[in-house]
């Protein structure tokens, strides 16, 4: 098995929805574009990734959303060293179809109170649903490592919540641990790096907004 040296997760650059959440009432979530700021964020991430990967090969997986595809293009990775495929299981948490601005804000507030892992949007997914499809993707990813010529780098271009849930599944975090962490910023990365002990370690932690409170705590 040719396990990669690192698995890099990248959140897309700032999108139209990040800049103005009223856009969800007139543009489908999957069709939102990057803003100028988002393109700059992606370009800066590309500089860092090109330096990190060097001349080594990369196996890249990109969420099917427009903003993640645009982010990947702005990375300007060497196409002769990268094999890229679209991966629907890395998509954003589904909020439903056309969205009512006031209802989305109400549901987001309810999710904050209820918990991001278990709260299910009325026409969409819960964090637990995203976790399940990330788990299915991981099975496919592990099978790909069996190829003797698998590149030493993996790149996932995805979304903030999906990044946290990927790391939750990989690192075997509890739900309470997941709930205590914040999404990375637009254009930010986290990497799982293969250590000398044969285990993958997160290169830097997610920001913590509260201490985890496991069930049964006094």
Which one of 12, 69, 116, 159 is the catalytic residue? 12
Q: What Cα–Cα distance (Å) separates residue 131 from each residue in 61, 110, 154, 211?
A: 17, 20, 19, 21
Q: What is the CA radius of gyration of the chain?
A: 17
CA distance 152 to 56: 7
**Active site annotation includes 87:** no
The active-site residue out of 16, 70, 74, 92 is 92
- The span from the CA of 132 to the CA of 215, in Å, is 22
CA quadruple 169, 171, 175, 180: dihedral, nearest 10: -120
Catalytic residue check, 12? yes
Residue with tokens 């990057």: 34
Tokens of 116: 């991001």
Rounded Cα gap, residues 71 and 79, in angstroms: 15
Active site residues: 12, 92
């Amino acid at each position: 098995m040719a396990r990669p040296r690192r698995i890099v997760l990248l959140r897309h650059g700032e999108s139209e929805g990040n800049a103005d959440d009223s856009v969800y009432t007139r543009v489908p979530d999957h069709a939102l574009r990057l803003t100028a700021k988002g393109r700059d964020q992606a370009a800066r991430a590309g500089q860092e990734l090109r330096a990190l990967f060097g001349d080594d090969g990369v196996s890249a997986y990109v969420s099917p959303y427009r903003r993640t595809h645009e982010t990947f293009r702005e990375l300007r990775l060497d196409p002769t060293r990268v094999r890229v495929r679209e991966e629907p299981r890395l998509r954003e948490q589904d909020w439903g179809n056309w969205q009512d601005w006031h209802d989305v804000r109400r549901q987001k507030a309810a999710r904050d109170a209820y918990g991001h892992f278990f709260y299910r949007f009325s026409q969409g997914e819960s964090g637990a649903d995203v976790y399940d499809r990330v788990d299915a993707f991981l099975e496919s990813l592990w099978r790909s490592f069996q190829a003797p010529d698998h590149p030493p780098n993996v790149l996932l271009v995805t979304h903030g919540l999906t990044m946290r849930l990927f790391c939750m599944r990989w690192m075997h975090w509890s739900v309470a641990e997941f709930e205590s962490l914040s999404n990375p910023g637009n254009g930010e990365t986290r990497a799982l790096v293969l250590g000398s002990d044969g285990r993958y370690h997160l290169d830097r932690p997610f920001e913590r907004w509260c201490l985890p409170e496991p069930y049964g705590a006094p």
